[in-house]
Amino acid sequence: MSNDFRDDAIVLHVKNWQTADKYAVCFTREHGKIRFIVYGGRYPKNVAGRLLQPFAQLSLEVIAGQRIDKLKSCELLEMPQTFDFKQMAYAAVVTELTAIFTEDHQPQPEVYELVKETLLLLKERNPRIVVLSFVLKLLDLVGLAPQVEACGVCGCIIGEEDAWFSPLRGGIICNDCHNEAGEEKFSVGTRRLLANLKSLDFKNPKPFTVKGGELMELEGILYKFILFQTDKPLNSINFLSQMGI
């Protein structure tokens, strides 16, 4: 029985491997996240090696291995996105978070569609807004969405009042329970922005107002929450911070 499989994939990460090979991480439509070696992928005449670029959408034929898979062949599904510097920086956040928050060979077609739609929308809309919406949707799909309605300490439902956010508690904290260092201000306006971004329809996005202060507050909350979940800084998010974009 053959262990080969074919699937559509989005390239998340590629790096050189040993002398002449490449190592790639992709997210596929039907097989989830996969990792494989492209033997001879660094040779100039190797077509697969040239096609395997971050953000590329490919049709892959893969030979499943006991320790790691091997690429048999690949074809271009769509022409690669031509991102500018800012769009590419935010696209890197999308691919790095997808690689970190998904498990190998766990089919999640909804994650594949989310990544595909996000990379497309980065060309058309404000990438800063698009990626925040992506982050919220991805966390929800992988079961790590922060709690934003009930206090993580006492369980009370928090209404139209400013509150706090605790990465340690996994979400919102009411004013009565707020007493720990590391809790971030979580205003009513920021919670509304979070709700708008989480429910944003990527195929038919409707306009809504975004205030700069609330955008910065939400970014701070989400990126600290991600840091707490991963227990390590992300290269792509650090790069955004360093570039001020």
CA triplet 183, 185, 186: central angle to 5 degrees? 110
Query: Which residue is it, tokens 């209404």?
Result: 159
Report the pLDDT value the prediction gives residue 198, as an integer from 0 to 100: 96
Q: How far is 10 from 28, CA to CA, in rounded Å? A: 6
Domains of the chain, by residue range, sit at 4-76, 85-243
Report the pLDDT value the prediction gives residue 1, as an integer from 0 to 100: 37
CB under 8 Å to 58, separation ≥6 — which residues?
A: 8, 9, 10, 11, 26, 51, 52, 74, 75, 76, 77
Report the pLDDT value the prediction gives residue 51, as an integer from 0 to 100: 94
The secondary structure of residue 31, as a DSSP letter, is T
CA triplet 113, 196, 80: central angle to 5 degrees? 30
Domains 4-76 and 85-243 share a fold: no
CA triplet 120, 126, 131: central angle to 5 degrees? 65
The correct CATH number of 4-76 out of 3.10.20.30, 2.40.50.140, 3.30.70.2860, 3.40.190.170 is 2.40.50.140
Residue (of 24, 6, 37) closest to 95 by Cα position: 24
Report the pLDDT value the prediction gives residue 2, as an integer from 0 to 100: 52
Report the pLDDT value the prediction gives residue 197, as an integer from 0 to 100: 96
Report the pLDDT value the prediction gives residue 90, as an integer from 0 to 100: 96
The secondary structure of residue 80, as a DSSP letter, is P
- What is the CATH topology of the domain spanning 85-243? de novo design (two linked rop proteins) (1.20.1440)
Reading the chain (245 residues) residue by residue, the pLDDT tens digits are 357 899 999 999 999 998 899 999 999 999 999 999 999 999 989 999 999 999 999 999 999 887 889 999 999 998 778 899 999 999 999 999 999 999 999 999 999 999 999 999 999 899 999 999 999 999 999 999 999 999 999 999 999 999 999 999 999 999 999 987 789 999 999 999 999 999 999 988 888 889 999 999 999 999 999 999 998 889 999 998 888 77
The number of helices, as runs of H, and strands, as runs of E, in the chain is 7, 8
Residue 37's SS3 state is strand
Residue 86's SS3 state is helix
| Structure-token pair, residue 204 | 């038919």
CB under 8 Å to 161, separation ≥6 — which residues?
A: 175, 188
Report the pLDDT value the prediction gives residue 23, as an integer from 0 to 100: 96
CA triplet 101, 105, 110: central angle to 5 degrees? 60
Give the rounded distance of the alpha carbon of 98 from its chain centre.
4
